[in-house]
Amino acid sequence: MTDNALTTADEPTKKASTKKVAAKKVTAKKASSKKAPARSAIAPRNASRRAATSKEDGARLVKFYRDMMLIRRFEERAARAYTEALIGGYCHLNLGEEAAVVGLMGALRDTDYLFTNYREHGYAIMRGIDPNRAMAELYGRVDGVSKGWGGSMHMFDMSHRLLGGYGIVGGQLPLATGAALAIKYRGLDEVVMCTMGDGTANIGAFHESLNIAALWDLPVVFVVINNGLGMGTTVAKASAEPEIYKRASAYAMAAERVDGLDPQAVFDAAQRAVASARAGHPFLLEVVSERLRGHSVVDPAKYRSAEEVSHLAQFDPVPNLAARLIKEKILTAAEVHRIDEEQSALADAADAFAQSSAHPDVATLFDYNYATPVANDSRRLPGEALFVTAQRPSAEVGR
Ligand SMILES: Cc1ncc(C[n+]2csc(CCOP(=O)(O)OP(=O)(O)O)c2C)c(N)n1
Ligand SMILES: [Mg+2]
């Protein structure tokens, strides 16, 4: 059990923000506040209460730092390439959510599956996909994870069991639930993790998927990354129950809420959630996180007050973990700096690799739409006629 699990379903957030709880079946008995608590209330920094870090935990924290730094530097390069118009389409970044990404992915086995949304670059890399191939996909090049045809939102790699990348909010949930049903049907020891945002918890597919998963005891962990915003709409404005993990009580599903800025806390909670799912008890894990930039690279986030923006830096998990590693003498400042240099070099290399990769041949545009041949598969390119009519003999024309 971690020091950083935040609340149970039974306790209003403001009172319970640092209380130790066990993962358990949620039974939201008391009505909770309709107003979402302030960021500081739902994501307390409780470093002072933390037990001394063991050698093993220290080594894991260093690995988390390395991985978080890689995601950070990768995303910064992606943002730059996008603003230079080298990357097209949409581009949503994991900046601020790095601790959540590494903690969650650390709890999965290679044989487990991941479904995620459009904010997916960090997840793809932490599933083991080469950053070069992830960046090449953003650039739409042949060496990309999806051969250049998916782009930022649609990475897919069966060999790393990343089953997408979905741009439709909530689109991944029924598919993830179906994958979990397939695993159960085949009697396999595998788990599906399905990540989404707080806004997604208000989509119909969320309720349908959680209901079926609980009813049929499917091996799936639903993870809500609660970054406080669905595009520019706050959780308080969008959700009647802002403590999203409590919604599991409607499906008699186990649930937990955790501090998403602490990678160790996320890892511990994710391990509990995954173990529960592997034993046939689906789980809802709410990870309270921060989105440091706009919804996508082009969003200036004008809906955030200057005061809110000025507080964001204190919630940045990357420098916070660096400070902890130095304070607890797990690493020296020089070692922290070296990790940054190494991961920056990897991100630069990924950028160079992507730029040197070829554009895909347009003739391959439709080659990956279906896994098996489909009789009426349309292969019409934009601008081509919908129906190609046979030429009539000239004598018939004008009759
Ligand atoms: C069905 C559907 N409705 C609306 C949109 C437009 N849209 C894209 S992202 C988004 C907000 C989602 O917020 P959240 O689930 O919190 O995820 P986050 O972006 O914070 O990671 C919306 C409304 C969409 N892509 N799909
Ligand atoms: Mg959100």
59 part of a folded domain: yes
Nearest protein CA to atom 18 of ligand 1, as residue: 197
d(CA 124, CA 163) in angstroms, rounded, equals 10
Question: How far, in Å, from the CA of 198 to the mean position of ligand 1?
Answer: 9
Give the residue with greater pLDDT, 52 vs 256.
256
- Which one of 118, 223, 231, 304 would you pick to mutate in the ligand 1 pocket, going by the greatest count of ligand atoms within 8 A of its CB? 231
Looking at the DSSP bridge assignments, the partners of residue 226 are 288
| Per-residue confidence (pLDDT) for residue 379, from 0 to 100 | 85
| Ligand 1 atom 11 nearest Cα | 230
Distance between Cα 201 and ligand 2 center (Å): 10
The pLDDT, as a whole number, for residue 392 is 57
How does 145-161 read in b/e, with b if 16+ C-beta sit within 10 Å?
Answer: bbbbbbbbbbbbbeebb
Tell me the average pLDDT across 74-94. 97
Q: Residue 398 domain-assigned?
A: no
Query: Which one of the ligands is nearest to 202 CA?
Result: 1
Ligand 1 pocket mutation pick from 90, 115, 169, 299 by most atoms within 8 angstroms of CB: 169
Task: Give the residue, by CA position, lying nearest to ligand 1 atom 7.
Answer: 169
List, for residues 236-259, the tens digit of each pLDDT value: 999 999 999 999 999 999 999 999
> Would the pLDDT of 36 be above 50?
no
Please check the confidence at residue 51 and state whether its pLDDT lies above 80. Answer: no
- When comparing pLDDT for 149 and 392, which is higher? 149
Q: Whose CA is nearest to atom 4 of ligand 1?
A: 169
The verdict on residue 100 lying in a domain is yes
Domain presence at residue 392: no
The average confidence (pLDDT) of the chain is 88
Sign of the torsion angle spanned by Cα atoms 106, 160, 199, 279: negative
CB crowding 334-356: b at 16 or more within 10 Å, else e? eebeebbeebbebbeebbebbee
Instruction: Compute the average pLDDT of residues 322-349.
Output: 98
Residue 301 is assigned to a structural domain of this protein:
yes
Tokens found for residue 324: 């902890």
CATH number, domain containing residue 117: 3.40.50.970
DSSP string, 122-180: HHHHHTT--HHHHHHHHTT-TTSTTTTSS-TT---BGGGTB-----STTTHHHHHHHHH
Closest CA to 273 of 129, 31, 105, 115: 105
Mind listing the pLDDT tens digit for each residue in 168-197? 999 999 999 999 999 999 999 999 999 999
- The CA-atom distances, in angstroms, between 372 and each of 5, 147, 149, 175, 207 are 45, 18, 18, 18, 31
Q: Quick check: 8 pLDDT over 50?
A: no
Across the range 44-48, mean pLDDT stands at 42
Residue 314 lies in a domain: yes
Pocket of ligand 1 (CB under 6 A): 119, 167-169, 196-200, 227, 229-231, 291, 295
Domain count of the fold of the chain: 1
Please say if the pLDDT value at position 23 is more than 50: no
Residue with tokens 């005061």: 307
- Count Cα atoms within 13 angstroms, Cβ side, for 104: 36
Domain residues for the domain of 174 are 5-30+37-44+51-364
Q: Determine the atom of ligand 1 nearest the C-alpha atom of 295.
A: 19
Q: From atom 13 of ligand 1, which residue's Cα is the shortest distance away?
A: 230
What ligand 1 atom has the least distance to the C-alpha of 117? 21
Taking residue 105's Cβ as centre, other Cβ atoms within 10 Å add up to 23
Interval 75-79 mean pLDDT: 98
Q: If you search the block for the tokens 């870090």, which residue do you land on?
A: 53
115 Cα–ligand 2 center, Å? 16
* Domain annotation covers residue 56: yes
pLDDT tens by residue, 267-321? 999 999 999 999 999 999 999 999 999 999 999 999 999 999 999 999 999 999 9
Query: Is pLDDT of 61 > 80?
Result: yes
Which ligand 1 atom lies nearest to the CA of residue 203?
1
Average pLDDT for 61-84? 98
Residue 397 within a domain: no
User: Percent of the chain scored above 70 by pLDDT?
Assistant: 84
pTM score: 0.87
pLDDT at 84: 97
